[in-house]
Amino acid sequence: MKKRLTIFLGGIAALAIAWAGLSGGDLLARDRLVHTEASDYAPIVVFEEHGERCMNFNEIEGQGRQTCIRLDNPKQMVFEYTRMMMASLFVNPQPESVLIIGLGGGTLPMALHALLPETTIDTVELDPAVVRVAERFFGYQTGPRQRVFVEDGRAFVERAVKEGRGYDMVMLDAFDVDYIPAHLLTIEFLEEVRELLAPGGVVVANSFAQSSMYERESATYAAVFGEFFNLRAGLEGNRVIIATPGSLPDKAELEQNAGSLDKALQPYGIETQRLLDAFAVHHQAPGTVQPLRDPVRP
């Protein structure tokens, strides 16, 4: 995800001065590190390489970068999966309210806020350390229509349902150091998300194109929503699920919505035709794979 550049430069200069006395080997080993943020969950590491600033859990060489921005063009989306998630606007191009579970560096909420300034965007993030890093190093800022809630995503959804609230779009982009938290993958959770969707609402979820959970995740979404759009960024990359409580829009509607957004999406590196070509409808044969469920409580 992305961020603002101004407050970084002083910190980087200070680091350069502090490292000036290091040997060549030490400098090569440490010249990418910008900041490490303590957390009750996993330390958050901010580092720079190849003209990008990135966030990761635990260490620079850990599994998968959580967020990256281009230092010379922070608006342009680095990761294919964020561009694919923005394709949910082809299904609902003018959501008045959006819920995002998982902040990272704030790429998605910031892009949506810039594109849809009248839309209320609520982001839920479990770890307050992630919020601090997003604000300090990636330019995320809250405001009247850009709000953040520090709590568990499922707890937020359950409370919102009880309060009778609704969202036109729900984006699921929560990861820990290993995978999506298990309680955000089950039929019971997705049923709560479906109940939270306003008429014409859409849910979009980031997952992996190849994992031991792939078939069961698919079966779980199919059990709650029926057919869904399945977008994949190669067999080794991410896949994005886009689902609705009702029938999916046809190709003509997707193309019309994409065309209306094409110019606005270009600065983010989003090629609307490429995303349209990635849309594929997933059909799940009933009973072929067991969906994921909450553990049975005694």
| Integer Cα distance of 82 and 265 in angstroms | 12
DSSP-assigned letters across all residues of 121-183: EEEEES-HHHHHHHHHHS----BTTEEEEES-HHHHHHHHHHTT--EEEEEE----SSSS-GG
| Integer Cα distance of 147 and 215 in angstroms | 34
Q: Residue 125's beta-bridge partner residues?
A: 150
Query: How many residues can be counted in the chain?
Result: 298
Exposed, middle or buried by CB within 10 Å (0-12, 13-18, 19+), for 178? Answer: exposed
Residues involved in catalysis: 173
